[in-house]
Amino acid sequence: MPSVAVKLYSVFFKFLLKHRLQNRIHSPSDESGAFGVTSRPEETVAAANPSFADGVATKDIHIDPFTSLTVRIFLPESALNPPELDSKAQGKSRVKAGLNRPDPDVGSANNLRRNSMPGLVNAEFSNVEEKRRNSCGNEAGADGLGLKSDGVVYRGYAPSMENCRKLPVMLQFHGGGFVSGSCDSVANDLFCRRIAKLCDVIVLAVGYRLAPESRYPAAFEDGLKVLHWLGKQANLAECSKSMGNGRVNGGEMRKADGRRHIVDTFGASMVEPWLAAHGNPSRCVLLGVSCGANIADFVSRKAVEAGKLLDPVKVVAQVLMYPFVVGSVPTHSEIKLANSYFYDKAMCMLAWKLFLPEEDFSLDHPAANPLVPGRGPALKLMPPTLTIVAEHDWMRDRAIAYSEELRKVNVDAPVLEYKDAVHDFATLDMLLKTPQAQACAEDIAIWVKKYISLRGHEFSY
* Known catalytic membership, residue 332: no
Q: Are 113 and 103 in contact (CB under 8 A)?
A: no
Among candidate residues 393, 397, 424, 443, the one labeled active-site is: 393
Q: Are 234 and 168 in contact (CB under 8 A)?
A: no
Phi-psi region of 178 (alpha: psi -120 to 50; beta: other; left: phi over 0): left
Among candidate residues 290, 300, 333, 403, the one labeled active-site is: 290
- The whole-angstrom distance between residue 252's C-alpha and the CA centroid of its chain comes to 41
Among candidate residues 261, 365, 392, 423, the one labeled active-site is: 423
* Known catalytic membership, residue 393: yes
Peptide bond into 212 cis (omega under 30): yes
Dihedral, CA atoms, 195, 200, 204, 205, nearest 10 degrees? Answer: 10
Counting beta carbons within 10 angstroms of the beta carbon of residue 204, is it exposed (0 to 12), middle (13 to 18) or buried (19 or more)? buried
75: part of which helix (H) or strand (E)?
strand 70-76
Residue 266 DSSP code:
T
* Known catalytic membership, residue 222: no
From 194, 218, 198, select the one nearest 207 (Cα to Cα): 218
Between CA 343 and CA 18 the distance in angstroms is: 10
Counting beta carbons within 10 angstroms of the beta carbon of residue 129, is it exposed (0 to 12), middle (13 to 18) or buried (19 or more)? exposed
Helix ranges (DSSP H) in 356-425: 396-408
Q: Which residues participate in catalysis according to the annotation? A: 290, 393, 423
